[in-house]
Amino acid sequence: MLKKFNEWFRQLFQVQEAKYQDILDIKNHEVTIQDVDYFLAKAQFTDIPEMLGIERAVYGGKTPWDSSAFASELKRSQDRLYLVVRRHDRLLAFIGCTFNEVKSDAHITNIAVVPDFQSRGLGHYLIAIMVKKARELELKQVSLEVRRSNTRAQQLYQDMGFEQKGIKKGYYFGDHEDAVDMVLLTGAESTDA
């Protein structure tokens, strides 16, 4: 009996893993956002220095994540998706997301756009990809945290359908700023019996 259960469980896990690999596999390609052509690609280890550069530009010289944190995330390709947007070989934006079937949640871990390309639709485009992936995986929600002081980002998220679900006090490392916890329900139905 245990042998049959183990075989069933192994097959179920393999099917689930294949589903995630198929849905989270994105081919590098050109995209047009607000009438401008860009190049969308899965993030690679070689992108990490430029990702850190974007963090420095966005966060006043600081890097909330270090290179080892990004490297650790990029290694976990079975339940993570990190994308970058380039124009003329310059990295302009990136997003990272974890997909958790147990919690039925796609959690956007980070998103950043270089200051001179903000308000051009790049952040909206990247978030929309993650929401689409969450729906394809039949996850119930997409979640993220945003600095309480970042009202511009909060407005973007609200415009996309995210709602504030709470405040995480002292959430951010270093300055201990509060985070606004935001969630978007995907409309995916549970397949649980």
Judge whether 162 lies within some domain. Answer: no
Judge whether 156 lies within some domain. Answer: no
Judge whether 74 lies within some domain. Answer: yes
Judge whether 129 lies within some domain. Answer: yes
Judge whether 178 lies within some domain. Answer: no
Distance (Å, rounded) from C-alpha 186 to C-alpha 160?
Answer: 11
Domain assignment of residue 128, given as a range = 1-141
Averaged confidence pLDDT in the chain = 88
Each residue of 117-170: pLDDT tens digit?
999 999 999 999 999 999 999 999 999 999 999 999 999 999 999 999 999 998
Judge whether 91 lies within some domain. Answer: yes
- Helix/strand/coil for 83: strand
* Structural domains in the chain (count): 1
Judge whether 55 lies within some domain. Answer: yes
pLDDT at 5: 58
Judge whether 84 lies within some domain. Answer: yes
Report residue 193's pLDDT band, with 50, 70 and 90 as the boundaries.
Answer: very low
The residues pairing with 99 across neighbouring beta strands, listed in sequence order, are 106
Report residue 15's pLDDT band, with 50, 70 and 90 as the boundaries.
Answer: very low
pTM for this model (two decimals) = 0.87
Report residue 20's pLDDT band, with 50, 70 and 90 as the boundaries.
Answer: confident
Report residue 8's pLDDT band, with 50, 70 and 90 as the boundaries.
Answer: very low
Distance (Å, rounded) from C-alpha 74 to C-alpha 124?
Answer: 22
pLDDT at 180: 95
The CATH code of the domain that includes 116 is: 3.40.630.30
Contact between residue 105 and residue 140 where contact means Cβ atoms under 8 Å apart: yes
pLDDT at 4: 63
pLDDT at 112: 95
